[in-house]
């Protein structure tokens, strides 16, 4: 199996775990502060890593040649939810959620700029058209105005930077990458949490732990995907979460989508399929030779 093919499997795992986490997180966000949800997620993340690896080799969690870069990357995972909080405060939460899907195209641009890993025309077109369809599907005709652009761009750009920075850290130990991701956010939010904390009940506590546990596995999949192949070849796959979440909404609400919605979903699915088809075609050619 080639690294590119392996990367598509890890990326697919990341996307669907991410969608699952978003669904659980939405339940918690209806009752708790976003900062409490994020802080608790990374508390569980750190606790699990300490239990699995810390008792045998605690130093391995911190051993990296680039601690400053690791912490800077971690802060991207704080800027992303913080941007959404500020967008919601500005009555632009749905707009930010839609425009977030410009992130795959941003990832291609950042990857080319910082890593010199350039995407093909087909992958760039897939990210552009698929991202545009996702923006229209979720945000409709809503366009940020004035200061709303700041959190809207911040949300997508911070995620894009996190993904590319993860690719840049592919030669660093995986344990350290995962540990620092959580450590920076946890430390930064700890002074804030006492002001927003609400004690969870038993059922919500289970959800908090599940978000943290699945979040760790989700980020592990992303790290492995970035280590396996350039993100410039797979970025449009990130859009797969959109049709998945939208379809679940149709099923849960017993809704029948209109033709416009179906067309937009179809565009996103085709955009996701393009990198898959390209990579699988190259794999079949390499096997046949």
Q: What is the pLDDT of residues 183-208, one digit of tens each?
A: 999 999 999 999 999 999 999 999 99
Q: Are 20 and 214 in contact (CB under 8 A)?
A: yes
| Number of domains making up the chain | 1
Q: Is residue 287 part of a domain?
A: no
Q: How far apart are the first and last CA of the chain?
A: 14
Token pair for 44: 């569980």
Does the pTM of the predicted model rise above 0.85? yes
Q: Is residue 37 part of a domain?
A: yes
198, with CB counted inside 10 A (0-12, 13-18, 19+), is exposed
260, with CB counted inside 10 A (0-12, 13-18, 19+), is exposed
Q: Is residue 236 part of a domain?
A: yes
The domain in which residue 47 lies consists of: 3-280
pLDDT at 281: 78
Q: Is residue 103 part of a domain?
A: yes
Q: Is residue 80 part of a domain?
A: yes
Q: Are 138 and 101 in contact (CB under 8 A)?
A: yes
The whole-angstrom separation of Cα 172 and Cα 276 is 27
Sequence length of the chain is 289
Question: Within the chain, which residues score under 50 in pLDDT?
Answer: none
- The distance of Cα 31 from the centroid of its chain, to the nearest Å, equals 23
Q: Is residue 288 part of a domain?
A: no
The whole-angstrom separation of Cα 111 and Cα 108 is 5
Output the CA torsion sign for 196, 201, 207, 210: positive
Q: Is residue 265 part of a domain?
A: yes
Q: Is residue 8 part of a domain?
A: yes
């Amino acid at each position: 199996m080639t690294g590119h093919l392996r990367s598509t499997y890890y990326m697919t795992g990341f996307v669907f775990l991410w969608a699952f986490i978003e669904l659980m997180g939405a339940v918690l966000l209806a009752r708790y502060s976003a900062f409490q949800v994020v802080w608790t997620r990374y508390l569980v993340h750190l606790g699990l890593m300490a239990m699995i690896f810390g008792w045998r080799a605690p130093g391995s969690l911190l051993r990296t040649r680039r601690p400053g870069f690791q912490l800077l990357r971690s802060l991207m995972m704080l800027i992303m939810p913080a941007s959404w909080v500020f967008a919601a405060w500005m009555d632009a939460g749905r707009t930010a959620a839609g425009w977030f899907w410009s992130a795959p195209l941003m990832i291609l641009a950042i990857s080319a700029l910082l890593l010199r890993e350039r995407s093909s025309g087909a992958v760039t077109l897939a990210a552009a058209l698929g991202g545009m369809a996702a923006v229209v599907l979720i945000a409709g005709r809503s366009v940020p105005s004035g200061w709303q652009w700041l959190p809207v761009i911040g949300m997508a750009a911070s995620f894009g930077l996190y993904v590319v920075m993860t690719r840049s850290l592919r030669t660093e130990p995986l344990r350290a990458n995962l540990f620092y991701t959580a450590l920076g956010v946890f430390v930064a939010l700890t002074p804030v949490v006492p002001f927003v904390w609400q004690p969870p009940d038993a059922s919500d506590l289970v959800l908090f732990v599940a978000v943290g546990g699945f979040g760790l596995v989700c980020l592990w999949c992303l790290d492995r995907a970035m280590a396996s192949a350039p993100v410039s070849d797979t970025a449009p796959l990130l859009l797969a979460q959109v049709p998945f979440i939208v379809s679940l909404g149709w099923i849960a609400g017993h809704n029948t989508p209109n033709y416009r919605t179906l067309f937009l979903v179809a565009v996103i699915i085709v955009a996701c399929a393009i990198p898959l088809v390209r990579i699988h075609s190259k794999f079949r050619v390499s096997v046949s030779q």
